[in-house]
Structure 1
Amino acid sequence: MNRAARTSPSVDALKDLFAHIPTSVAVVTVGGRAGAYGLTVGTLNTLSLEPPLVMFAVNAASRLLPRLHTGAAIGINLLAAGQTDIARQFATAAIDRFDGIRWCEEYALPRIDDTMAWIPARVQQRIPLGDHRLITASVASGETNHSLPLLHWRRAFHAPSPVAAPDGQSRPDA
């Protein structure tokens, strides 16, 4: 095939392609009781063990982005299967995203109840990439309850089925 003859895919074709990439679902939070803010992200990934870093992307037009400045303390609430309503609520604009959500304040950050994992972190870098900003954050600590994660795939939320480990045992945290 002649590479010069290729054209860029349409936005709709790209959205369809990217929808086939399964992602974890997390709510990134800042502030506390005096002013809690949060946003659903579907791009959370580990980046480094030494030092411990994670990364996620935020739309450049997000109202949360100014609060994600270098050095800002953030809470990463990795959602568990069954927390679809929380994911949708924190992805909805022009509402009080914490309305009706059970949460507490930990390390002066909003921690959502019953999430699969909780990661307090600090923003290291904001890197402009296309219409988003890649945020890298240093991990201060973390907790998990070993429940199944909430995943986003093909424009819908899913809970994975436990898979068999090499020893043949089914594990919810596999």
Structure 2
Amino acid sequence: MVTEREFKDFMADVCTPVAVVTAMADGRPHGTTVGSLASLSLRPPMVTIALDHRSALLPKIRRTGRFGVNLLGAGQAAVAGAFASPVADRFAEVEWYVDEGLPRLRDAPGWLVCLPKRFVTGGDHLLLLSLVARVSGARAAAPLVYGRRMFGTHSAFADRQNTSITDQIAAFAR
């Protein structure tokens, strides 16, 4: 039998993208950090996220039938930490605005508007299979990832961002 500790230690070595999932309910913004964002389908465009069954955000998404995905970039570890914490107002420390009726973080490099189509139970989490209704702001930025219980980035991409296109082409041609 695999222990919870063994599984957690193994999965700590798997880097995951970091995003803040948001919803608007009762006129207030709500959000949480996830490390479970994954592409599911191209035709139609779909993604998956997983939320704990006890997530306060889950009933709001079920009720409204939509959510936003704010893909975080390198340097936004504090934002990820704030939305993973138990503080009452997670939006107090970030700049955000309403986009298509959903809370959008101003500095997030990528944005999706999603419509959950199916909820699938997976142990202590619920997997949301969701149609992507809109993609916006997907700009070339080093991604924020979570691995080995730390926030970081893909260093090769971050290094390339600081190099001119001419230098990148020259390096590739070598």
- Tell me the TM-score normalized by structure 1: 0.86
Is 2:52 aligned against 1:41?
A: no
- Runs of 4+ that moved beyond 4 A: none
TM-fit CA distance, 1:33: 8.8
Q: Deviations over 1:98-145 (max 9, x none)?
A: 112101110010000111210011111111110000011110121212
> Where do 5+ consecutive residues of structure 2 fail to align?
161-166, 170-174
1:63-107 Cα offsets, whole Å, 9 max, x none, are: 111112277121100001111011011111242111121011100
Q: Which runs of 5+ in 1 are unaligned?
A: 1-7
With over 3 angstroms needed to count, the CA separation of the structure-2 counterparts of 1:65 and 1:33, relative to structure 1, is closer
Report whether the alignment pairs 1:106 with 2:105. no
Which structure is higher in helix share? Answer: 2
Q: Does the 8 Å CA contact 1:27/1:40 hold for their aligned counterparts?
A: yes
Query: Could you tell me whether the CA contact under 8 Å between 1:19 and 1:153 is conserved in 2?
Result: yes
Deviations 1:133-169 (A, max 9, x none): 00111101212121111000010001112357xxx93
Aligned to 2:172: none
How many residues are treated as equivalent by the alignment? 161
Cα distance, 1:32 vs structure 2: 6.7
Q: Quick check: 2:25–2:60 contact (8 Å CA) kept in 1?
A: no
Paired AA for residue 43 in structure 1: S
The whole-number CA distance in structure 1 between the counterparts of 2:49 and 2:129 is 7
Query: RMSD value over aligned CA atoms?
Result: 2.0
